Amino acid sequence: MIKLFAANWKMHKTQAEARQTVEDLLRLSAVDLPVGREVLVIPPFTALSATAAGLAGAERYHLGAQNFYPADHGAFTGEVSPAMIRDAGASFALTGHSERRHVLGESDSFVGQKTSFGLAAGLKVILCVGEKIEEREASKLAEVLTRQISLGLADVPKNIAPETLSVAYEPVWAIGTGLVAGPAEILEAHALVRALLEDVFGSVAREMRILYGGSVKPDNASEIIALDNVDGVLVGGASLKADDFSRIVLA
Ligand code: PGA
Protein backbone atom coordinates (compact mmCIF):
# COMPACT_ATOMS: atom_id res chain seq x y z
CA MET A 1 0.00 0.00 0.00
CA ILE A 2 1.26 3.50 -0.80
CA LYS A 3 1.88 5.36 2.46
CA LEU A 4 0.37 8.82 2.84
CA PHE A 5 2.16 11.65 4.66
CA ALA A 6 -0.40 14.38 5.33
CA ALA A 7 0.26 17.92 6.58
CA ASN A 8 -2.72 19.47 8.40
CA TRP A 9 -1.93 23.16 8.68
CA LYS A 10 -5.10 23.97 10.63
CA MET A 11 -5.64 27.77 10.93
CA HIS A 12 -2.11 28.74 9.93
CA LYS A 13 -0.49 30.44 6.92
CA THR A 14 -1.31 33.23 4.52
CA GLN A 15 -1.27 32.54 0.79
CA ALA A 16 2.33 33.71 0.46
CA GLU A 17 3.46 31.61 3.43
CA ALA A 18 1.66 28.55 2.08
CA ARG A 19 3.23 28.86 -1.34
CA GLN A 20 6.70 29.36 0.15
CA THR A 21 6.28 26.35 2.44
CA VAL A 22 5.30 23.97 -0.38
CA GLU A 23 8.05 25.25 -2.61
CA ASP A 24 10.54 24.60 0.21
CA LEU A 25 8.97 21.20 0.86
CA LEU A 26 9.35 20.19 -2.79
CA ARG A 27 12.95 21.42 -2.87
CA LEU A 28 13.78 19.45 0.28
CA SER A 29 11.88 16.23 -0.43
CA ALA A 30 10.70 15.71 -4.02
CA VAL A 31 13.86 14.16 -5.48
CA ASP A 32 14.40 11.77 -2.56
CA LEU A 33 10.77 10.87 -1.79
CA PRO A 34 10.95 7.08 -1.39
CA VAL A 35 9.00 4.81 -3.72
CA GLY A 36 5.69 3.84 -2.16
CA ARG A 37 5.05 7.18 -0.49
CA GLU A 38 2.89 10.19 -1.33
CA VAL A 39 2.37 13.55 0.32
CA LEU A 40 -0.79 15.52 1.03
CA VAL A 41 -0.86 19.19 2.03
CA ILE A 42 -4.03 20.45 3.75
CA PRO A 43 -3.99 24.26 4.10
CA PRO A 44 -6.84 26.53 5.21
CA PHE A 45 -9.44 27.28 2.48
CA THR A 46 -7.98 30.72 1.78
CA ALA A 47 -4.61 29.20 0.84
CA LEU A 48 -5.88 26.28 -1.28
CA SER A 49 -5.28 27.99 -4.62
CA ALA A 50 -1.86 29.35 -3.64
CA THR A 51 -0.83 25.91 -2.37
CA ALA A 52 -2.13 24.31 -5.58
CA ALA A 53 0.00 26.73 -7.59
CA GLY A 54 3.06 25.86 -5.50
CA LEU A 55 2.49 22.12 -5.97
CA ALA A 56 1.64 22.32 -9.68
CA GLY A 57 3.19 19.47 -11.64
CA ALA A 58 4.69 17.74 -8.59
CA GLU A 59 3.91 14.05 -8.93
CA ARG A 60 2.89 12.28 -5.72
CA TYR A 61 2.11 15.60 -3.95
CA HIS A 62 -1.59 16.23 -3.44
CA LEU A 63 -3.83 18.96 -2.07
CA GLY A 64 -6.63 18.56 0.47
CA ALA A 65 -9.16 20.62 2.42
CA GLN A 66 -9.72 20.55 6.17
CA ASN A 67 -13.50 20.69 6.00
CA PHE A 68 -16.55 21.09 3.73
CA TYR A 69 -20.32 21.25 4.04
CA PRO A 70 -22.41 18.32 2.75
CA ALA A 71 -24.40 20.16 0.07
CA ASP A 72 -23.71 21.27 -3.52
CA HIS A 73 -24.64 24.92 -2.88
CA GLY A 74 -27.22 26.92 -1.01
CA ALA A 75 -27.88 29.20 1.93
CA PHE A 76 -25.07 27.97 4.22
CA THR A 77 -23.26 31.14 5.24
CA GLY A 78 -19.60 30.53 5.94
CA GLU A 79 -19.50 27.05 4.41
CA VAL A 80 -17.73 25.61 1.36
CA SER A 81 -18.90 22.72 -0.87
CA PRO A 82 -16.87 19.76 -2.16
CA ALA A 83 -17.23 21.14 -5.70
CA MET A 84 -15.68 24.46 -4.57
CA ILE A 85 -12.80 22.61 -2.97
CA ARG A 86 -12.21 20.60 -6.13
CA ASP A 87 -12.40 23.82 -8.15
CA ALA A 88 -9.58 25.18 -5.96
CA GLY A 89 -7.43 22.17 -6.92
CA ALA A 90 -7.96 19.82 -3.96
CA SER A 91 -8.71 16.12 -4.32
CA PHE A 92 -8.77 15.10 -0.62
CA ALA A 93 -10.66 16.34 2.46
CA LEU A 94 -10.78 15.56 6.17
CA THR A 95 -13.95 14.72 8.07
CA GLY A 96 -14.38 14.32 11.81
CA HIS A 97 -11.12 15.93 12.89
CA SER A 98 -11.04 16.10 16.67
CA GLU A 99 -11.11 19.90 16.65
CA ARG A 100 -14.28 19.86 14.51
CA ARG A 101 -15.86 17.32 16.85
CA HIS A 102 -14.79 18.80 20.18
CA VAL A 103 -14.27 22.54 19.51
CA LEU A 104 -16.87 23.11 16.78
CA GLY A 105 -19.36 20.56 18.12
CA GLU A 106 -19.82 18.24 15.13
CA SER A 107 -21.75 15.06 15.97
CA ASP A 108 -20.92 11.53 14.85
CA SER A 109 -23.92 11.53 12.53
CA PHE A 110 -23.03 14.89 10.93
CA VAL A 111 -19.50 13.58 10.37
CA GLY A 112 -21.12 10.55 8.70
CA GLN A 113 -23.24 12.78 6.47
CA LYS A 114 -20.14 14.68 5.41
CA THR A 115 -18.11 11.53 4.78
CA SER A 116 -20.67 9.97 2.44
CA PHE A 117 -21.42 13.28 0.71
CA GLY A 118 -17.75 14.06 0.14
CA LEU A 119 -17.08 10.62 -1.33
CA ALA A 120 -20.13 10.87 -3.60
CA ALA A 121 -18.91 14.29 -4.73
CA GLY A 122 -15.61 12.76 -5.86
CA LEU A 123 -13.34 13.71 -2.98
CA LYS A 124 -10.97 11.25 -1.33
CA VAL A 125 -12.02 11.41 2.31
CA ILE A 126 -9.96 10.88 5.46
CA LEU A 127 -12.32 10.15 8.35
CA CYS A 128 -10.62 11.06 11.64
CA VAL A 129 -11.45 9.18 14.82
CA GLY A 130 -9.99 8.98 18.31
CA GLU A 131 -10.72 8.83 22.00
CA LYS A 132 -10.39 11.51 24.67
CA ILE A 133 -8.15 10.86 27.67
CA GLU A 134 -11.09 10.24 29.99
CA GLU A 135 -12.50 7.70 27.51
CA ARG A 136 -9.16 5.88 27.37
CA GLU A 137 -8.89 5.87 31.16
CA ALA A 138 -12.41 4.42 31.37
CA SER A 139 -11.36 1.61 28.95
CA LYS A 140 -13.71 2.94 26.27
CA LEU A 141 -11.31 2.88 23.30
CA ALA A 142 -13.20 0.13 21.46
CA GLU A 143 -16.58 1.66 22.24
CA VAL A 144 -15.54 5.10 20.94
CA LEU A 145 -13.87 3.82 17.77
CA THR A 146 -16.78 1.49 17.03
CA ARG A 147 -19.30 4.33 17.39
CA GLN A 148 -17.28 6.88 15.40
CA ILE A 149 -16.58 4.44 12.58
CA SER A 150 -20.04 2.89 12.33
CA LEU A 151 -21.80 6.30 12.34
CA GLY A 152 -19.04 7.89 10.26
CA LEU A 153 -19.45 5.28 7.52
CA ALA A 154 -23.18 4.58 7.90
CA ASP A 155 -24.14 5.91 4.45
CA VAL A 156 -20.97 5.09 2.54
CA PRO A 157 -21.62 2.58 -0.28
CA LYS A 158 -20.09 -0.83 0.42
CA ASN A 159 -18.48 -0.99 -3.03
CA ILE A 160 -16.41 2.22 -2.96
CA ALA A 161 -12.89 2.13 -4.36
CA PRO A 162 -10.59 1.48 -1.38
CA GLU A 163 -8.14 4.25 -2.27
CA THR A 164 -10.91 6.85 -1.85
CA LEU A 165 -11.42 6.29 1.88
CA SER A 166 -8.88 6.42 4.69
CA VAL A 167 -9.29 6.53 8.45
CA ALA A 168 -6.95 8.58 10.64
CA TYR A 169 -6.63 7.34 14.22
CA GLU A 170 -5.80 10.41 16.31
CA PRO A 171 -6.08 9.99 20.06
CA VAL A 172 -7.34 13.38 21.24
CA TRP A 173 -4.89 13.39 24.15
CA ALA A 174 -1.95 13.14 21.71
CA ILE A 175 -2.97 16.01 19.39
CA GLY A 176 -0.82 19.08 19.84
CA THR A 177 0.28 17.95 23.28
CA GLY A 178 3.67 16.41 22.57
CA LEU A 179 2.31 13.15 24.01
CA VAL A 180 2.61 10.50 21.32
CA ALA A 181 0.82 7.17 21.61
CA GLY A 182 3.29 4.35 22.17
CA PRO A 183 3.76 1.51 19.65
CA ALA A 184 1.53 -0.87 21.61
CA GLU A 185 -1.28 1.69 21.79
CA ILE A 186 -1.01 2.46 18.08
CA LEU A 187 -0.93 -1.24 17.13
CA GLU A 188 -4.00 -1.97 19.24
CA ALA A 189 -6.05 0.94 17.91
CA HIS A 190 -5.06 0.39 14.27
CA ALA A 191 -5.88 -3.34 14.44
CA LEU A 192 -9.26 -2.38 15.84
CA VAL A 193 -9.85 0.17 13.07
CA ARG A 194 -8.87 -2.44 10.45
CA ALA A 195 -11.31 -4.96 11.93
CA LEU A 196 -14.10 -2.35 12.01
CA LEU A 197 -13.42 -1.44 8.38
CA GLU A 198 -13.50 -5.15 7.45
CA ASP A 199 -16.87 -5.47 9.18
CA VAL A 200 -18.20 -2.73 6.89
CA PHE A 201 -16.41 -3.37 3.60
CA GLY A 202 -15.12 -6.95 3.80
CA SER A 203 -11.67 -7.90 2.55
CA VAL A 204 -11.28 -4.76 0.41
CA ALA A 205 -10.81 -2.90 3.72
CA ARG A 206 -7.27 -4.29 3.75
CA GLU A 207 -6.54 -1.86 0.90
CA MET A 208 -7.81 1.20 2.80
CA ARG A 209 -5.23 3.38 4.47
CA ILE A 210 -5.19 3.87 8.23
CA LEU A 211 -3.14 6.91 9.27
CA TYR A 212 -1.82 7.74 12.73
CA GLY A 213 -1.95 11.33 13.99
CA GLY A 214 -0.98 12.99 17.25
CA SER A 215 2.38 14.65 17.91
CA VAL A 216 4.18 12.97 14.99
CA LYS A 217 7.65 14.55 14.75
CA PRO A 218 10.82 14.01 12.70
CA ASP A 219 12.31 11.89 15.50
CA ASN A 220 9.37 9.50 15.97
CA ALA A 221 8.00 9.24 12.40
CA SER A 222 10.13 6.32 11.18
CA GLU A 223 9.20 4.13 14.15
CA ILE A 224 5.47 4.92 13.78
CA ILE A 225 5.32 4.47 10.01
CA ALA A 226 6.93 1.00 10.28
CA LEU A 227 4.18 -0.37 12.55
CA ASP A 228 1.63 -2.91 11.31
CA ASN A 229 -1.54 -1.34 9.92
CA VAL A 230 0.03 2.14 9.85
CA ASP A 231 -0.34 3.32 6.26
CA GLY A 232 0.59 6.93 6.81
CA VAL A 233 0.62 9.83 9.25
CA LEU A 234 -1.44 12.99 9.73
CA VAL A 235 0.82 15.72 11.06
CA GLY A 236 -0.22 19.04 12.57
CA GLY A 237 2.38 21.15 14.37
CA ALA A 238 5.42 19.49 12.81
CA SER A 239 4.06 20.02 9.29
CA LEU A 240 4.17 23.81 9.48
CA LYS A 241 7.89 24.05 8.78
CA ALA A 242 9.05 22.56 5.48
CA ASP A 243 12.29 21.47 7.11
CA ASP A 244 10.54 19.38 9.81
CA PHE A 245 7.87 17.97 7.51
CA SER A 246 10.42 17.01 4.83
CA ARG A 247 12.32 15.04 7.50
CA ILE A 248 9.06 13.23 8.30
CA VAL A 249 8.24 12.34 4.68
CA LEU A 250 11.79 11.10 4.15
CA ALA A 251 11.99 9.30 7.53
P1 PGA B 1 -0.35 17.42 15.92
O2 PGA B 1 -1.80 17.44 15.21
O3 PGA B 1 0.59 16.71 14.98
O4 PGA B 1 0.00 18.87 16.12
O5 PGA B 1 -0.51 16.67 17.20
C6 PGA B 1 -2.28 16.34 14.50
C7 PGA B 1 -3.65 16.63 13.95
O8 PGA B 1 -4.43 17.34 14.61
O9 PGA B 1 -4.02 16.19 12.84
Ligand 1 centre and the CA of 171: distance in Å?
10
Q: Atom 3 in ligand 1: which residue has the minimum CA distance?
A: 236
CATH number at 166 reads: 3.20.20.70
Residue-level pLDDT at 213:
97
Residue-level pLDDT at 178:
86
| Total number of domains in the chain | 1
Residue-level pLDDT at 37:
98
**pLDDT tens for each residue of 99-155:** 999 999 999 999 999 999 999 999 999 999 999 999 999 999 999 999 999 999 999
Residue-level pLDDT at 180:
84
Ligand 1 centre and the CA of 135: distance in Å?
19
Q: Identify the domain containing residue 219 by its residue range.
A: 3-249
> For residue 197, what are the CA distances in angstroms to 104, 120, 150, 202, 217?
26, 18, 9, 7, 27
Task: Please choose from 8, 132, 211 the residue to mutate so as to test ligand 1's pocket, defined by most ligand atoms within 8 A of CB.
Answer: 8
Q: Atom 1 in ligand 1: which residue has the minimum CA distance?
A: 236
Residue-level pLDDT at 21:
98
Report how far residue 168's alpha carbon sits from residue 193's, in angstroms, rounded to the nearest whole number: 9
Residue-level pLDDT at 221:
97
User: Which segments in the chain show pLDDT lower than 50?
Assistant: none
Which residues of the chain form beta strands (DSSP E)?
3-8, 37-42, 61-65, 92-95, 124-129, 165-169, 209-213, 232-235
Residue-level pLDDT at 218:
98
SS (H, E, C) 61-121: EEEEECCCCCCCCCCCCCCCCHHHHHHCCCCEEEECCHHHHHCCCCCHHHHHHHHHHHHHC
Q: Rounded to two decimals, what is the model's pTM?
A: 0.98
